[in-house]
Structure 1
Amino acid sequence: MQTMDSTNRLEDGALSSPAAQRNAQAILDILKAHLPARGPVLEIASGTGLHAATFAAALPDVHWIPSDPDPEARASLRAWKARTGLANLAEPLALDVERAETWPQAPLNAIVCINMIHISPWSATEGLMAGAGRLLSNPGGLLMLYGPYREADIETAPSNESFDSALKARDPSWGLRDRDAVVSEARAHGLHLTLRIAMPANNIVLLFRRA
């Protein structure tokens, strides 16, 4: 599982992350304000599954579809589903954003991607935008991104500079992405930035809509 966060394993095999616990409520507040009230929502790179379980529990009319290319992450997602018994939390998909054949085929109301773009090569962002462009086919379809970015009009926080260095030391293809480059890639697939929201710990949320 690609992560820079520490994890711990619960008795039933579910993984938990202190970072995910800290940011879950702040992200949930954004989801409640902007997600469609019901219907399918695909989460990309779900990781431990703590977010998926938290969000599905708080949004009972949303059909939350977690995904991750890593078998360990999917095992943890299944453990969270068994632990919570949530009917609206789907079985995890083995989705690799760079492989179009692993994406679902049915249109979606929304796609949520938390803390993936900086812990993956740029080709993953390209794959994410291509997939979102295909599946968010209805006007108003929402893509929500969460994480740290470089922004031309805002000075990068020292903690984010240190984080960027740590990411690149682990993998030279990783690192904080330029917000405008991400916005441009989204626009190439019919998705337009509609809102930027500052979040705790020098993260931001970017909301994109299908015109």
Structure 2
Amino acid sequence: MLPFSAAADRNKDAILTTLKPILEGHRKLLEIGSGNGQHAVHMTAAIPGLVWQCSDLDENIEGIAIRLELEGDERTPPPLALDVSVSQWPLPARDDADAFDVMYTANTLHIMSFNHVEHFFARATETLHGQDGILCVYGPLKYGGKYTTPSNEAFDAQLKSWDPVSGIRDFEALDTLARKAGLVFDADHAMPANNQLVIWKRPG
């Protein structure tokens, strides 16, 4: 039986509705932390022409590969083993013809350490190709140190009880990292279940 994420299944249509016009004209997306590949299969079925490259930690690759083999197509290539904490990701350079013009991640930044979040943004500028490269981050956020809802505050406490280095991130901290990486804030979309979808772009 294929691994299944109820959260990924619940949020896939809302994310697709928001992402689809944003991704128009883009050709190759790198997903960081693909889980079990549900978003890759769902999004590529609805966005013709977009190649969706899954990646995750090595221990999750087998499950993703099985899903993509059964439900994917030529636009969902085999997943990459990728650890955001390493100093150089095993990817084409941004000036390579096969480079990525979109990076996307969902529900990952609050389950990794902030040091790993810093690596994530630093590698974005090395990964995104062209002046239309975009970075898309989905998940819960704080603003000015404040939670958007009591349920997010409770969720943050739960995360920290599991792992003290995890936790819901401040938008301002992420935006600072994005700017250091040469990206500019473009949009912040409110999503269901107290989540956000934030878009940064390489400046034109």
Fold-level similarity (TM above 0.5): yes
Matched, 1:186 2:178: yes
Which residue of structure 1 lines up, in the alignment, with residue 115 of structure 2? 123
Q: Deviations over 1:157-210 (max 9, x none)?
A: 011011000000000000011110000001001011110100001100110000
Distance in 2, Cα, partners of 1:186 & 1:38: 20
Distance in 2, Cα, partners of 1:101 & 1:204: 28
Distance in 2, Cα, partners of 1:162 & 1:24: 24
* Residue identity matched to 1:87: E
- Paired residues, number: 198
Matched, 1:42 2:42: no
Equivalent in 80, 86, 89 of residue 102 of structure 1:
89
How much has 1:70 moved relative to structure 2? 3.7
Which residue of structure 2 lines up, in the alignment, with residue 83 of structure 1? 70
Check conservation: 1:69, 1:95, Cα contact below 8 A. yes
* Residue identity matched to 1:156: T
Check conservation: 2:156, 2:168, Cα contact below 8 A. yes
Task: Indicate the percent of aligned positions where both proteins have the same amino acid.
Answer: 36
Bigger shift: residues 128-137 or 143-152: 128-137
RMSD (Å) for aligned C-alpha atoms: 1.5
Matched, 1:163 2:155: yes
Aligned positions of 1:1-211 closer than 5 A: 10=1, 14-71=2-59, 73-107=60-94, 108-152=100-144, 155-211=147-203
CA distance 1:168–1:155, shift in 2 (3 Å): closer
Tell me, what secondary structure is at the counterpart of 2:81?
Answer: coil
Q: Deviations over 1:74-119 (max 9, x none)?
A: 1111111111141100110111111133330243110001111000
Where does the alignment leave 5 or more consecutive residues of structure 2 unmatched? 95-99
Check conservation: 1:36, 1:109, Cα contact below 8 A. no
Distance in 1, Cα, partners of 2:162 & 2:184: 32
**TM-score calculated relative to the size of structure 2:** 0.92
How much has 1:28 moved relative to structure 2? 0.8
Distance in 2, Cα, partners of 1:166 & 1:191: 31
How much has 1:60 moved relative to structure 2? 2.9
Tell me, what secondary structure is at the counterpart of 1:163?
Answer: helix
Bigger shift: residues 166-175 or 37-46: 37-46
Distance in 2, Cα, partners of 1:25 & 1:181: 28
Check conservation: 1:149, 1:178, Cα contact below 8 A. yes
Where does the alignment leave 5 or more consecutive residues of structure 1 unmatched? 1-9
Tell me, what secondary structure is at the counterpart of 1:77?
Answer: helix
How much has 1:153 moved relative to structure 2? 8.6
Tell me, what secondary structure is at the counterpart of 1:66?
Answer: strand
